[in-house]
Amino acid sequence: MTLLEKIRSSALDIHSEVVAARRTLHADPELSFKEVRTSAFVQKWLEDEGIPFTSGHAGTGIIAVIRGNGNREVALRADLDALPIQEENTFDHRSKNDGIMHACGHDVHTSSLLGSARILNRFKSELPGKVKLIFQPGEEKLPGGAIELLNEGALGDPLPSAIFGQHVAPDLPVGKIGFRKGMYMASADEIYLEVIGKGGHAGLPHKNIDPVIITAEILLALQQIVSRSAKPSIPTVLSFGKVEANGATNIIPDKVNVAGTLRTMDEEWRANALQLIEDKATGIAKAHGAQCNVLIKHGYPFLSNDLMTTGHAQVAAEEYVGKENVVDLELRMTAEDFAYYGQQMPACFYRLGTRNEEKGVTSGLHTSTFNIDESALGISTGLMAWLAVNALLKGS
């Protein structure tokens, strides 16, 4: 039996245990950088498997190493945290923690990597190198656990020759795996505007400096940054989802608060666009005798998948699940702190299909009814293990 066949068989053997682990994690979600019980669960699993690890990275993170034969090293990453969402599912393993839910599938990522750890440890004598297992805290909250792990040197020196991350995909049918070479996911910056004018009676507008009208002009003008200043070849989205005026039918308020996001896939343009936003917003306000305070919270960089690493991984996935079950992904304007790893080492971030319309498993990420077809866990564990082995064999 080949190593690929052994890994695939082992993934099916431990499927029920991985499902049980996922349900335990799903029922007890914890917010970013507060994953104390989740971290303890992971550590107990690793201890039971006899896999050496260190804990306390970026607070609650764990890094384990499975040593095969050879010095080449690759890394596999899962994230631990949940979201501040009230779960509305009714199954027995629904969240027991009020207002907190694994609505982005990090329970799936963690349990999958635990399963991969068991498989890789079982066949470590056949591994052509080392596999580092990264259980990362705080993906959902700035500054993100990835950059904290990198800054503290937790991934070692030299860094792994490649790193892989998996994310659930509720838009992909279960059994499908998705890849995209090169640019894949957007950077994400938060933009806050405070437009300060002079409030008063709505029936006497000539005595006021109306921040509502000024804000409307600012918002329309900022959209021209995307339509007229961005290169058509650079994906860019500028959206504002929150506007608070707190006036009334007969009251013009003193100020308006606005919150939005800029997302793009070019770091130079990202910096230029943020400066244009600030310049245009403050300039328009000043022209009307008002003031605009701009606060920008810099988020994650854009995510780019290494061409060679991702190409090798896609071929390996075709070997594991069949060429017909591996698909090409479209660009996404959502963001991921896995992007930080890709800035420092060859990286591949791919998608695991979890959708099953016949079972009614169709809810999207970050929704109160998100769920997965758990048969995906019979694929995810072995696939991630095989990607690591393949990368060690290929040298990328």
Q: What structural domains does the chain harbor?
A: 3-185+301-394 (3.40.630.10), 189-297 (3.30.70.360)
At 262-295, the pLDDT tens digits run: 999 999 999 999 999 999 999 999 999 999 999 9
- pLDDT tens track for 38-54: 999 999 999 999 999 99
The pLDDT of residue 369:
98
What is the percentage of the chain residues whose pLDDT exceeds 70?
Answer: 100
The whole-number average pLDDT for the span 6-11 is: 98
What residues does 256 pair with on adjacent strands? Answer: 195
Q: Residue 115 has what pLDDT? A: 98
Structure-block tokens of residue 305:
């998948």
Confidence of residue 333 (pLDDT cuts 50, 70, 90): very high
Question: For the segment 223-243, what is each residue's pLDDT rounded down to a tens digit?
Answer: 999 999 999 999 999 999 999
pLDDT band at 70 (very low <50, low <70, confident <90, very high): confident
Percent of the chain at pLDDT above 90? 98
Q: Using CA atoms, how far apart are residues 372 and 394, in angstroms rounded to an integer?
A: 32
Q: Which residues pair with 132 in a beta bridge?
A: 65, 75
**What pLDDT band is residue 173 in, cutting at 50, 70 and 90?**
very high
Strand 162-173 with 347-355, pairing = parallel
Q: Whole-angstrom Cα distance, residue 95 to residue 326?
A: 32
Look at residue 136 and tell me whether its pLDDT is greater than 70. Answer: yes
Residue 69's CB is within 10 A of a number of other CB atoms, namely 13
Confidence band (pLDDT; 50, 70, 90) for 81?
A: very high
Roughly how many angstroms between the first and final C-alpha of the chain, as a whole number?
25
pLDDT of residue 184: 98
- What number of other Cβ atoms are within 10 A of residue 346's Cβ? 22
Predicted local confidence at residue 71, as pLDDT: 86
Q: Three-class SS string for 31-93?
A: CCCCCHHHHHHHHHHHHHHCCCEEEEECCCEEEEEEECCCCCEEEEEEECCCECCCCCCCCCC
From residue 35, how far is each of 58, 111, 141, 253 by CA, in Å? 11, 14, 13, 42
Res 211 pLDDT > 60:
yes
Q: Give the C-alpha separation, 33 to 36, whole Å.
A: 8
Distance (Å, whole) CA 251 – CA 207: 12
Measured distance CA(27)–CA(380) in Å, rounded: 20
Residue 235 burial (CB count, 10 A)? 18
102-118, pLDDT tens digit by residue? 999 999 999 999 999 99
Across residues 244-273, what is the average pLDDT?
Answer: 97
**pTM score, two decimals?**
0.94
Structure tokens at 149: 């792990």
Note the pLDDT of residue 58. 97
Mean pLDDT of the chain: 97
Query: Mind listing the pLDDT tens digit for each residue in 86-98?
Result: 999 999 999 999 9
Q: Is the pLDDT of residue 396 over 60?
A: no
Confidence of residue 65 (pLDDT cuts 50, 70, 90): very high
- Residue 394's pLDDT band, with cuts at 50, 70 and 90, is confident
pLDDT digit string, tens, across residues 358-389: 999 999 999 999 999 999 999 999 999 999 99
